[in-house]
Amino acid sequence: MRLSVQTDPFDLGAESNAFAAAQTVAGAVVTFTGLVRDNGGTLAAMEIEHYPGMTERAIRAIMDQAVARWSLEDALVIHRHGRLVAQEPIMMVATAARHRADAFAAAEFLMDYLKSRAPFWKKEIGADGAEWVAAKDADEVALTRW
């Protein structure tokens, strides 16, 4: 299980390959990657702030839950902070399980919890100023299915 909270970009292909290559008994690997979205075509940059210490602690707790609940063989979370531009990868999740249903479910669970329980805050920097991204009610509702 690996967690990295970093400012540097990551290589999605290299990370996915290394994660899959490290498996010994898993028959399924699921990966998800989140990109910086430019909703209105006016995004100059996205700044991601986080709470050092709590971020790692919160994500590890979420990963521990996922591993236990879906009997995962392995899990990976990479989440960036700092200044990013449109279409750059922000974060990725990978899960490995014996069968795909567990790998898919655990990846969705990790994403739902990372959205609203890991202490990151996004700020969109546009031509006309900067605005903090508001949390969506739907993100909170998504947690109730778990």
Partner 1 sequence: MIDVLYFAWVRERIGLPRERLETSAVTVAAFVEELRAREERYEAAFADLSSLRVALDQELADFDAPLAGVREVAFFPPMTGG
Confirm or reject binding of residue 18 to partner 1 (CB under 8 A): no
CA–CA distance, 73 with 20 (Å, rounded to integer): 11
Out of 11, 64, 121, 141, name the contact with partner 1 by CB under 8 A: 121
Minimum gap (Å) between residue 98 Cβ and partner 1: 26
Confirm or reject binding of residue 4 to partner 1 (CB under 8 A): no
Tell me the sheet residues that pair with 49.
Answer: 121
Out of 34, 44, 86, 89, name the contact with partner 1 by CB under 8 A: 34
Residue 119 or 126: which CB sits closer to partner 1?
Answer: 119
76-105 residues in contact with partner 1 (CB under 8 A) are: 79, 90-91
Residue 22 or 86: which CB sits closer to partner 1?
Answer: 86
